[in-house]
Structure 1
Amino acid sequence: MSKNKIPEFLRHAKLLKKNAIRYAASESVIFFKESFVNEGWTDGALTKWKKSSTPLAGKRTLYKSGKLMQSIRKLEATDQRLVVIADSDHAEIHNEGGYITVTEQMKRYFWAQHLKFKKRNKKKAEFCKFMALKKVGSKVKIDKRQFIGESRTLMQNLDSWFRGTVNTNFDKQKQEYTFILQSDGNSAY
């Protein structure tokens, strides 16, 4: 007579939970960074960002140096919650949109940029002069260009992965713990 094999469901469940947390954290960071590649936010469908009107912008919207995209990282991943952040100084204003207040420091920066571009790039020089002449305390509108947040598409992707992983593990266990024929011809589990 042979031994009965009992599936180790608890061990498999713990391993699945651990892998799900790790996978969700990794995929979330990748998903949010893909917003920069797609130049838009994907909730149910991709919503393209409004192109920047400033001549100082890079070739791609929100991607001049790459610092904003590179600031996206996992802060916390537990079985209770997952926190992914973008810790660049200007992440919040770009993600949510809003107004920024013109400061003396901004005016000095744009005067320096104006002088830098004066002979090389008239369009950039004019824009910098326009910004440098703004009154301290005046407001500049920053359009919302969301790249991080809750997303139905991301959740569907994670759910799909989880279902697939559970099904794969279940199928493996079914194969491992099939009937074992005893020597007397009776089947046992």
Structure 2
Amino acid sequence: VLGSATGTATIYGAVAGGQGTVPPGTYLSTFSGAQIEFRYRYTSGSSCSTASGTVAADPTFTINATVAANCLVSTQNIEFGSKGVLDGNVDATGQVSVTCTPAAAYTVSLNGGTTGSPPTTRKMSKGVETVTYGLCKNADRTQPWGDASVPGSTVPGTGTGVPQVFTVYGRVPPQATPSAGVYTDTVVVTVTY
């Protein structure tokens, strides 16, 4: 008799931080029945109490959020220090730290450096002169750490939501000694997930 009306009310949601870690996927909650109630009043009063308001039919709605697989990576340089004559192994280590969404599978690869060399014959350079070095996955330096171009040379992992630290074992083997100076190389770390 009095006609009809429509209205819109925005419900604001927030996902609180500090909840720990969860695997990737879609998470949802469905509100229905006694969990939610809308009241309305069609008189001039201001109360929507049970006595004076009307309860609408129980609505149903769903809240959802998607947690995507994600990884963060940080590195620590490898410093071989000073060596006058390269007549013996020179060893040093660095680190790769990977933080991935829980349950996300990933692999860590190291490219061949500036010259694109194989894992155990990468080149540090000073001008046209080079020093050969290798990067490995194990302390004995018998398992090269490379990329997909060298089967079996990447490092696999599964995310836990907290940093996972991998040691990179470097070695400069005995070789002809070039002229004195600082020799450097840049290796790109790739995390595939």
> Which of the five TM-score ranges fits, normalised by the shorter chain?
under 0.3
Higher relative contact order (CA 8 A, sep 6+): 1
Using the size of structure 2 for normalisation, the TM-score is: 0.23
Report which of the two has the higher share of helix.
1
Q: Whose Rg is larger?
A: 2
Report which of the two has the higher share of strand.
2
